[in-house]
């Protein structure tokens, strides 16, 4: 995993300052609360990019009929199909990879937290709720097997995100891959996070939950806009 020391130091500095401020208020679990606050700040920062991503996805849905025609026309010529598709994206100012930008911005923060909680930077007694932030959360034990709740919650949140994404791109080229990812991605997240420090898992869980809420609000707004358009058309026709 790549490491950016200056960013790690900045994240740890911010984490410690927020935890110190929370501690002065006499609130327990100061480092856990600091992680949640940092996560909220990151979601606020990337929210404009999330809206831009939604607009790009909306344009892609509108372009889908034209893309389907091109796919059918050049089904025996993949290179020409890719060229024509790229031209349409360029003409309509659509970036199919734009949805990766919010994730790429958050990735260095995730990595910084991973090294912070895996090393000696954060105190060993940093706790939140029932768990030590430098260890897996270990809700309870089955003999030598630890039942870690946070990674399982992460799996559920990731599944819901993939399900919403799959529904939003229904009918688009590549939707079959998204359907597959709806099941494989949550399992990958479970495997990846199960033995990670719970401070890192907490960050990803809160970020995923906030992202889920943002997706719901955006899609609800899109649904309301569609209903308003239908009502407006009915009024005009009458």
CA dist., res. 182 & res. 173, Å (int): 16
Render pLDDT for 150-178 as a digit per residue (tens, 0 to 9). Answer: 999 988 888 887 777 665 555 455 455 55
Chain length of the chain: 238
How far is C-alpha 105 from the chain's CA centre? 11
Render pLDDT for 171-203 as a digit per residue (tens, 0 to 9). Answer: 455 455 556 766 787 888 888 888 889 998 999
Q: Which among 146, 145, 156 has a CA at the least distance from the CA of 198?
A: 146
Predicted model pTM: 0.74
Helices (H), the chain: 5-24, 30-73, 78-91, 101-118, 149-168, 175-193, 198-237
Predicted pLDDT at 233: 45
First-to-last C-alpha distance (Å) of the chain: 62
Render pLDDT for 104-114 as a digit per residue (tens, 0 to 9). Answer: 777 778 888 88
Contact 121, 12 (CB under 8 A): yes
Burial 166-180 (b: 16+ CB within 10 A, else e): bebbeebeeeeebee
């Amino acid at each position: 995993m790549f490491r950016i020391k200056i960013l790690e130091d900045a994240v740890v500095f911010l984490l410690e300052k927020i935890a110190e401020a929370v501690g002065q208020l006499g609130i327990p679990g100061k480092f856990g609360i600091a992680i949640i606050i940092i996560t909220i700040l990151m979601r606020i920062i990337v929210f404009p990019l999330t809206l831009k991503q939604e607009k790009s996805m909306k344009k892609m849905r509108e372009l889908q009929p034209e893309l389907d025609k091109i796919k059918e026309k050049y089904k025996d010529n993949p290179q020409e199909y890719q060229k024509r598709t790229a031209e349409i994206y360029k003409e309509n100012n659509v970036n199919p990879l734009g949805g990766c930008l919010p994730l790429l911005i958050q990735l260095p923060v995730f990595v910084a937290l991973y090294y912070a909680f895996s090393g000696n930077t954060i105190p060993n007694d940093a706790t939140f709720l029932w768990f030590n932030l430098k260890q897996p959360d270990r809700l309870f034990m089955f003999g030598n097997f630890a039942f870690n709740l946070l990674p399982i919650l992460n799996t559920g949140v990731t599944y819901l995100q993939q399900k919403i994404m799959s529904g939003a791109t229904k009918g688009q080229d590549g939707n079959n891959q998204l359907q597959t990812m709806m099941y494989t991605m949550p399992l990958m997240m479970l495997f990846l996070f199960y033995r990670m420090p719970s401070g890192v898992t907490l960050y990803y869980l809160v970020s995923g939950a906030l992202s889920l809420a943002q997706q719901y609000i955006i899609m609800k707004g899109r649904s309301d806009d569609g209903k308003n358009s239908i009502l407006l058309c009915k009024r005009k026709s009458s």
